[in-house]
Structure formats: C-alpha cells, structure tokens
Amino acid sequence: MRFFLLFTCFLFLYADSNAQQADLVLTNGNIVTLKVKGDRAQAIAIKGYEIIAVGTNNEIAKLTGASTRVIDLKGKTVLPGFNDVHQHPAPLYTFDKPYSVLKLDTVTSMHNLIALLKRKAEITPKGVLIRGVGYNETKLGGQPIRDSLDKASTEHPIIISHVSGHLSAANSYLMALNRIDENTKDPAGGAFERYPNSQRPDGICKEVAAGYLRKSKEIKYPAQPTKDEELEGFRQYFNAVLSSGITSLGDAWTTPEKVEVYKKLVAEGFPMRFNLLMGTPFAGDLISGKIKRINTDHLRIEGVKVVHGNSLSGKTCWLYEPYDMINPVTGKKDYYGIPPARSQASLDSLFLKIHSAGLQIACHSNGDREIDMVIKAIENAQQQSPRADARHRIEHCSITNQDILNKIKVDGIIPVFHCYMYELGEKMLVYGPQRIAMLHPTKTAGDMGIIYALHSDAPISPYPAMIRLGSAVNRTTKDGGVLIGSNQQIDAEDAIKAYTFGGAYTTFEENKKGRLMLGQLADMIVLDQDPTTIDPTKIYDIKVLKTISGGKVVFNSTNSSN
C-alpha cells in the first residue's frame, strides 16, 4: 500500500512538472510586452498556443525541459503580432494568368503604365477585359484618361482603379460598351470627369459612376481560376502577410463566396487569424442566420461593413468647408466633394437594423460631414435599442474636429485610423493646414483616452507592418519627406499598441491577444531592431526575422539563425 502511494505521488509530481514545461521558450531578448508602457522582459515561455510565462531569463529557465525548443534571441526585439483590422485581401497570381489583375502602385510614369498594359494586351485575347488596380496619378504625372489608355489598346476594354479604390479609369472601348457619352448624367453619389469645355466624359469615373463601367452585358471577362487555384492564390497572399509581421487581419468587405475560402483555410490549419466584415448587401443573410455567425480564435464573423462617404486620397469625400484647391469646373475654391448617395434617414434605418441584431457596424467614412452623419446614425440606433459595449467602428475616420472626437469618446465608438502618409501624404495637402491638424488624429485621440486601431486598407497602402508603423510614427511622405500633421505624431510604442492591442480591442479580443502576457495567444514577431529606440526614420527598414502564431514559428527569414 505504501509503495502504491509513493508511486502515485511520483506520477502526480511527474505530470505536474511536465505540465509546467514549455513547448517553446524565447530567451535573451528585448520583449515589448505592452502590459504597461515601457514594460520589457528578457524571456517568454509558450505551451500549446498560449503564453504561460513572461519574465527574466532565470525565471523562464525553470520552465525549460528536455523537450522544450529554445530560441536564443541574442538581444533581438519581440513584439505582439500585428493586427491589421481593415484589408481587402485578394489572391496572388502570376502575370501570365488570364485572371491576374495588374498591380499599378509602383508604376511611376504614364509611359510605363501604357507599356505594362500593352504587354498584358499582347497575351490577352482581343475583346477580353484587362484590369489593373492602384494607379497613382501623382506618380504618373496626371490622370490616365481614355486618350492615354487607348494608346495601350483599342482592341480590348481596359479598366484600372485608383490607389484610393474610389475612382476608375477606362479606355474608349469600355466607355463605348457601356454607352457612356456626353448624354450620360452624373449619378447620385458619383461623377464622370469631362473634357474641358465639353460634356464628353474623359474616362475618369468617380465613386458610384465607376459602377457604370461594368454594366454592359457585352463585356467579355477573362477566364476564371478554378477553386483550387483561387485557394492557392489566397495562401500565397496570406503567407506574404504573415512574413511581414501580421498575425491577424480583417477582411473589410466579405462575400459569401469568400467566407467559404476562409473556412477552408481555417479547416486546414492555416496560421492566420481572420475577422470578416460582411459587405452591406449580405447583412440580411447574417442577421437571418443564412450566413452563420462564428467567433473562434481563428475565424470571427460578427460584423457588417457599410460604406457611407467617399475617398480621402481621391478627393471625393464630403466636407463642411471647400477643399483648399481650385475647382477646375468653376475656377473657384467651391468644391466640397461628392455627397453620399444614402440619406440620413436611410443610414439611420440601416444602422438600426444591424445594431438591433447584435452585430458590429464598421462604417467607411472620411469627410467630416460624412462622419457626423455616421455618428448621428449610431446614436439613433443606441437610443432606440440600447446596447452596452457595442464598439461600432468608423473606418478611416479621416477629417475630424474636436466635436467629432468628443462624440466618439462619449458614444464608445472606435476610430480605425489610416496611416498612409508615407505613400499618399502629398494628396492630403488639398485639405489645408487647419484640417490637416486633425487628420487621422492619433495623438489627440490617445490623449483623450480613446482606444483606436490602425490599418493598411491594403491594397490602398502596402500592408507590411514596419512600413505602416513607420508611417504612423513619422507622418512624412516617401518622396520629399513632407510632414503631414506634426501635432498628431505619436511614438513607436503607442503606434505598436494601436496596431496590436487596439486591433484586438476593435474585435472584442483584447483579453486573448494584442499583448505579451500570461494567458494570451502566443502570436508574436521577432525583429532585427527595436522600433522604440531606433531613429524613427529608420523604422521602415526594420526586418521581420520570425513570425510566431499560436506558438508555432510560421515564418523564419534567411537572416535568422534559429
């Protein structure tokens, strides 16, 4: 009997000791925990998919057993994995695939744009649509009007979208297919740019007007990828995202078809965490249960994306005061942007329906006049159907003022700010110094105690975590280094917090990710430099050495020794 008791005690002690042994330990590091500002640790222990301890090398050494994998960080910096709460993911395909869409964000002249489109036309059957995304008229030296695109091909319809996503340019072939001519009126919420002293559209279609470019049933679309090809394209995209330092992301306009893609990725164990915001047309399906709500560590479907308002970089968002630019139509400073197509009453009705169903609203809005409408609709929904801690979101939340921020704080709204000054900052100058001082007001919001998140809006701006972090900290443009809103600059640790804890808070997950603490999911990145101590202008150049998701190393750079 005594032997049995001793043996039983031994088993319990062995089991307890084994239970405390970490699967993975990172040691000799500079670990930015975000527990409180300035908190640092040397080592971290992981068991399964969770953090079981954070502390000194000696403290964590006690959790290291024979089967523990130990990574010597050699002084390298560890941050929580970034959470890019607002992207528009798309599969990656090679140039030669008929369904590949040209990426135009790096094209630096009209000559190069035309040459690239010509190359695509050469391998595309005549009459089949050619598509591109992300052109920047500042880099091109002007808008790619139909005359320019006609130089690429007059035997293919061509449509390319602006870097903002809110303008599209078409060649004459596509304009003719859609019967867009001098007799076509501007739709509510949109506009066709026209040649000087003429009513003839020049091919640049703004906001709702861009939808007219896809109305014709005569458009011949390229062959579509198979389901397997599409899934592999998404794997390629998300693997690249992981390697850039992002472990969680939000798809800010999801369709039922894309939901099935995400479900497949999660089922196969893909190590990214996804938060899906269903596009407004599918809100009814989410409310009715046709699209099932999901809330797991890897897949969350609990919100609806609404678009109310227009583009900041595309200069179409609706303002109270005119843009600081000459209106080419009138020759005066009398351009206020394009009013949203939806009325206040319509917006109120839509928000109440989503809010009353217990769902989160994430509403795209840029101009101060648009944002006020969004806040009013949220307040109306809460008055008619009170709900604690709804955490409704304003996506981009660009042109603000103190009154807007006061309402955001009182109403518990989360601003999801852009931080794309690095790529698109020069486009902000049309808003004038007074508005720029409250453009994406990260410093003011932080000082007020407002919890906010940052995002890339990829492909509107590139998603790599260190580029976005550097942009948020410096607020300077890449070309020329123009400073956009110096009073809203924040330090690196506050920006990291917004991109990690802020992102987790935005998706109701702050108790399980966004910081490096006991009980949190083991999502983290290893960097070759410390963004909180390096020259801020060098943050863009910091390399991601490892990405860890759920306690597993899912990316390991060639510059990393173990």
Q: Are 65 and 178 contained in the same domain?
A: no
Q: What is the CATH number of the domain that holds 53?
A: 2.30.40.10
Confidence of residue 224 (pLDDT cuts 50, 70, 90): very high
Buried b (16+ CB within 10 A) or exposed e, 29-55: bbbbbbeeeeeebbbbbbbeeebbbbb
Residue 382 falls within a domain, yes or no? yes
Q: Are 150 and 243 contained in the same domain?
A: no
Q: Which of 493, 514, 535 is the last residue of a domain?
A: 514
Omega into 89 within 30° of 0, i.e. cis?
Answer: no
Look up residue 361 and give its amino acid. Answer: I
User: For the chain, how are helix, strand and coil distributed in percent, rounded to 5?
Assistant: 35, 25, 45
Q: What is the CATH number of the domain that holds 456?
A: 3.20.20.140
Residue 540 falls within a domain, yes or no? no
Cβ 428 vs Cβ 421: under 8 Å = yes
Q: Can you tell me the mean pLDDT for 208-219?
A: 94
Q: Are 274 and 392 contained in the same domain?
A: yes
Q: Are 350 and 497 contained in the same domain?
A: yes
Residue scoring higher pLDDT (329 or 555): 555
Q: Are 241 and 356 contained in the same domain?
A: yes
Q: Which of 498, 514, 530 is the last residue of a domain?
A: 514
Q: Are 151 and 272 contained in the same domain?
A: no
Q: How far apart, in whole angstroms, are the C-alpha atoms of residue 444 and residue 536? A: 20
| pLDDT attached to residue 3 | 44
Q: What is the pLDDT of residues 229-275, one digit of tens each?
A: 999 999 999 999 999 999 999 999 999 999 999 999 999 999 999 99
Q: What is the CATH number of the domain that holds 178?
A: 3.10.310.70
Pairing type for strands 544-549 and 524-527 reads antiparallel
Q: Are 377 and 244 contained in the same domain?
A: yes
Q: How many CA atoms lie within 13 A of 439 on its CB side?
A: 24
Q: Are 188 and 258 contained in the same domain?
A: no
Closest C-alpha to 506, from 432, 450, 443: 450
Between the alpha carbon of residue 103 and those of residues 151, 219, 462, the distances in Å are 19, 21, 11
Closest C-alpha to 452, from 492, 499, 517: 499
Q: How far apart, in whole angstroms, are the C-alpha atoms of residue 428 and residue 444? A: 19
Q: How far apart, in whole angstroms, are the C-alpha atoms of residue 348 and residue 345? A: 5
Q: Are 155 and 14 contained in the same domain?
A: no
Q: Can you tell me the mean pLDDT for 474-481?
A: 89
Q: Are 285 and 149 contained in the same domain?
A: no
Rg (CA), the chain: 25
Q: Which of 214, 238, 253 is the last residue of a domain?
A: 214
Residue 527 falls within a domain, yes or no? no
Residue 266 falls within a domain, yes or no? yes
| pLDDT attached to residue 561 | 67
Residue 71, both tokens: 């990574």
Residue 559 falls within a domain, yes or no? no
Structural domain harbouring 279: 228-306+343-514
Structurally, the chain folds into a number of domains equal to 3
Residue 413 falls within a domain, yes or no? yes
Confidence of residue 451 (pLDDT cuts 50, 70, 90): very high
Residue 538 falls within a domain, yes or no? no
Q: Are 9 and 153 contained in the same domain?
A: no
Q: Angle 125-126-129 (CA atoms, 0-180°, nearest 5)? A: 80
Q: Can you tell me the mean pLDDT for 513-526?
A: 98
Q: What is the pLDDT of residues 160-205, one digit of tens each?
A: 999 888 999 999 999 999 999 999 999 999 999 999 989 999 999 9
Residue 325 falls within a domain, yes or no? no
DSSP state of 437: T
Q: Are 240 and 267 contained in the same domain?
A: yes
Cβ 309 vs Cβ 320: under 8 Å = no
